[in-house]
Amino acid sequence: MFGAILGDIAGSRFEFSRPQTFNYKKEPFFTDACCFTDDTVLTVATKYAVLNGCSYRNAYLEFGRKFPLAGYGSMFKRWLEAGGAAAYRSYGNGSAMRVSFIGEYFPTLERVREQAQSSALCTHNHPEGIKGAEATAVCIYLARTGCSKKEIRAYIEKNYQYRLGRPLALLRPFAKVDMSCQVSVPLAIRCFLESHSWESCIRNVYSVRCDTDTVGAIAGSIAEAFYHGTGQDDLALTRRYLALPDAYGRQDMTLFNWATMN
């Protein structure tokens, strides 16, 4: 889960603009301009739902309302305002950005697929939204259970029909910000496949114009599972960015505590 959260934070400042001097090979990951976004909030909410045995819908409502300024998409905002009344057939990448704990936690592939689908259905009940969540969680499960990159790619291409063969070198010249699952998830997996560490995976994300925080969260979660860590100081970084003063100046530890709970 640290891989998703730190991928979100590292990507947060480059989602819509980059400085002219931007160099994806050297740009620092964590600066004062970084912050957590809705990717982190809902990733933590997923963990909360699983460990408390409550519905994903109720967890997303609770955390969404507690952190209303995290940068949610317009449809999710309306869903929050309506009290989670009905799913809205979204195929946006929000369903994929929040499933890392499911891929990490559940002991069988069948349970991972089932729970990923359930986590998507309360909001992203479009077939592509469900597929994106499921494919991401499955990648994490396969990565943590010892599958090779070749095996992960073959499984995803066969079962989810994502085309993963096009290298980043060919994607970079034509890439643009696209927040759909059908673009973000295959791109995130490709960033992982061309990596040799969690850090190099996030640099691959940096190298392509995209929805950087969410692609970073998705790719980072797979890379963490495969490489058995991020190589960063996970606790120090999550405390730096998640343990922040609330509206009354008090330190709100909710996200940090749930993110770091064993």
What is the per-residue pLDDT for 251?
79
Q: Residues of 107-125 as b/e, b for ≥16 C-beta within 10 angstroms?
A: eeeeebbebbbbbbbbbbb
Decide if 216 is inside a domain: yes
Decide if 162 is inside a domain: yes
Decide if 66 is inside a domain: yes
Decide if 22 is inside a domain: no
Domain assignment of residue 175, given as a range: 2-14+33-260
Decide if 177 is inside a domain: yes
Residue 2: alpha-carbon gap to chain centroid: 10
What is the per-residue pLDDT for 207?
95
Q: How many domains does the chain have?
A: 1
What is the per-residue pLDDT for 246?
66
CATH number reported for the structural domain that contains residue 243 in this entry: 1.10.4080.10
Please state whether the predicted TM-score (pTM) of the whole model is above 0.85: yes
What is the per-residue pLDDT for 123?
97
Decide if 46 is inside a domain: yes
Decide if 120 is inside a domain: yes
What is the per-residue pLDDT for 249?
67
What one-character-per-residue DSSP string does 130-169 give? HHHHHHHHHHHHHHHTT--HHHHHHHHHHHH-----S-HH
Decide if 114 is inside a domain: yes
Tokens linked to 34 = 């970084």
Mean pLDDT by 10 residues, the chain (262 residues): 97 83 92 96 98 97 95 95 94 98 98 98 97 98 98 98 96 93 98 98 96 97 98 96 77 92 87
